Structure 1
Amino acid sequence: MSRLIGVRGWILALLGLVAPLAVGQESASDYAIQVPLSLSGEGPWYRLELPMAVHMAARYADLRDLRVFNGAGEVQAYALSLGSARQHETQQDSAVKWFPLRGPLHAEQSPGVRVQRSTSGTLVEVLGEEGARADQEVLRGWLLDTSAIEAPLQQLTLDWSAGHEGFQRFSIEASDDLQHWRAWGDGQIARLTFADERIDQRDVRLPGQSARYLRLLWSSPRQAPQLLSARLLSASSDRLAAPLSWSAELSPSSAKAGEYRWDLPLALPLQRVRVELAEANTLAPVSIAGRREGQVQWQPLARGLLYRLPQDGQEVLQDELELYGAPVQQLRVQVDERGGGLGSAAPSIRVGIRATQVVFLARGTPPYVLAIGKAAGSAASLPLSTLIPGYDDQRLAALGVATAAATPLLEVAAGAEQAPGWDWQRLGLWAVLLAGVGLLVLMAWSLLRARPAAP
């Protein structure tokens, strides 16, 4: 029994010696590249637009080998935010011309009109229906000329002369040719006065569609007021593509007539490639293929026409092709020489991937350092909603900004293969495991020797 206790003591002692290897904290020195960060704006959260050179210096495309350290060498909590497409809305407030619509007070049909247009198509006058008696006509509504507004109409704002108080209700119709009308519903404006206070309701929501003309016909009361102004709020929405992070110029690793190849440090999800067109009057049909390291077959990625040509006294340039996020480590560009090729010198390229932001919670003392490039990296990023309670896109845009220092060391590492290094933490864990197995075998052997022989 005492021998068993002694063996156990040896095991515990050995575990105590090697435990620091197994649970030791990460250090910036474990990473191939360390980039100083400068902070500006309000913290404690900061966002960093990750340079493309950092992506190319990483050991893993998903950036699992990325960390942020403070001045005391402590790891900072962080999240990764991938750039995405966004909707951008532009609003415009425009004053428009208005023309009176007259007709019998109790007529059910809409007032008939004749119009006169300028050479540009804009209305200059609206005439009453021929044959109608002026003494039997009243102001029934207004025709608005919105032909100068191309964006969808969102809101109508009216102002009218004094003396017309209370609620006013009218129908809204839209047309592009003044002959065919489509209903846009009803509108209501109001002016209320009480105890020297006045309340105006002048805005009317519109359905967000485009139209060259609007017809407003009053239904309650039947007679329309005199307008002082008419304004329309229009809004156009544009879809902005996901922002990209571009590499520096990359020279081909091999070149021959009509074919060029490039090797990247690791397989990256490429979105676009930009080919240098050094010479004017270049016209080149090209096809692009890619493959990962170890693959034999090339996978077609894109086909298109690149050119740099004169047009109307200016130069037009088409030097990019879409690759749609295919993971690629080797690129091949084949040029149809019937177009004259890409020139006498081998072209360089730039590759683009979706931009990535690193958002981290600054804790402790500066300076802060971004570290990248660990052979046995493991993911440690948090979801943004966990890192920033109550996270939304507006709050993300208001965070402080971190900037990575431009360092030649980073550029060198990004363009070269990184030699694998020793992972001392993993080696230490294996040493613990093997030592434990060896001691268990020794303990079992000692117990077998000490067992008394059967009588």
Structure 2
Amino acid sequence: MLGLLATGLAHASATPQDYAVQWPVQAEGDAAAYVLELDAAVLLHVTRADLRDLAVFNADGEPVPFAPWPPEGTDDELLEPVPWLRVPLPQAGQPESLALRLERDADGRLRGLDLRTNDTAPPPAERHDLLVDRGEEPPTISALHVTLADDAALPVNLRVRVSSSGDLVEWRPLVSGQPLVALDDNGLRIERLKLELGRTDARYLRLSIENEGSWPALAGLQTGRHLRSGDERPWQMVSLAGVAVAGQPGMFDYTSPGPMAIERVDVELPTNNAVAAVQVTARDHAEDWWRPVTGFIAFRLGSNGDEVRHVEPAVHLHRERQWRVSTQPALTRPPELRLRYRPERFVLLAQGPRPYVLVAGSVRAQREDYPVKAALAASSSEPAVATLGAMSDAGGAAALAPKRGEDWQRWLLWAILAVGAALVLVVALKVLRQPNQSSP
């Protein structure tokens, strides 16, 4: 009986007034289901990391089936090694001639290429481009990752131009000014070895150095290809200002406005020509332990429009509100913390009279679990897109404060539980006081 009563009280029907704020749901047509995308403007009103204080009600004040609708997969980058070879360059002032002598392997890939000039003297061995042959019908890629050999001479500070071709005769520029950087700074290894290409499906890629310098010893090249999951949600960013932690040099605290699904974390150092080893941790409440998120070498090198910085790391999904950045050597000014996320996608099933209203923010009400995915799987039509109108108060600040004197249900439940516990204690004492009937 006590269990049934507790269950009944805990699942008492919530109303929109149990939530702090609300938005009208603008759902056009007569679709059976609608998709909503919720960004930081909505999530900053959510109090729970599991987003259970988001709900939808119909015009009769009844809850509507409403649940997260995450993408089926993630956008991962597939790295694949690719063969490459050196292309000797002509001496200064000499035209380049692609009257080529080609050597190919059994798979048809280039194994050797001899670039001739009008001068019969061989070109200097240290002056060359890199030529990549991706084979027949190559997939679309977006980046090239460079791996330096163990004996590569440092520092490396190059600007690279990448051109593409389908026949080794006509070349089209893809990108220019791509930084290729590797150096040691007081024990910190600074590297940027990823060349961003945009998107290309060209078979041949040619890498040329634009500034002074020559190619370091390379261990290999890899193409970066994104495996599309069908998730077309746009990336969004929230920038946070830090506060120095008292008594902890180089340590800064940040507060996120809401439980967004953070998938990329970055820091912007406060000055250029700066470098620091960065450790990022996070927690949801002040009582929690700090959990590691990521660590990397952050840097800003150069000036006057020629600044090179690190590549932001991808991380596992985090929804914590409190963030901490530790730097070594200790920075005196807090870096800017940049958190990237994609909007939350929820789906609601059209049930009951319209209009519908989305509510958020509550410490005493939470959304029930609905088998929305199963219902959508049985449907033959895709959910329609719905949007939100202007926000207004629902229950206001009262929804964010636990009920006290007027919450008679809670007090009644505790009273019944106390009486039940007392009865159990009385019965136990009676049993203990009875004489042992089996004794002689």
Relative to the length of structure 2, the TM-score reads 0.49
Which structure features the higher share of helix residues?
1
- Give the TM-score, by structure 1 length: 0.48
Q: Whose Rg is larger?
A: 1
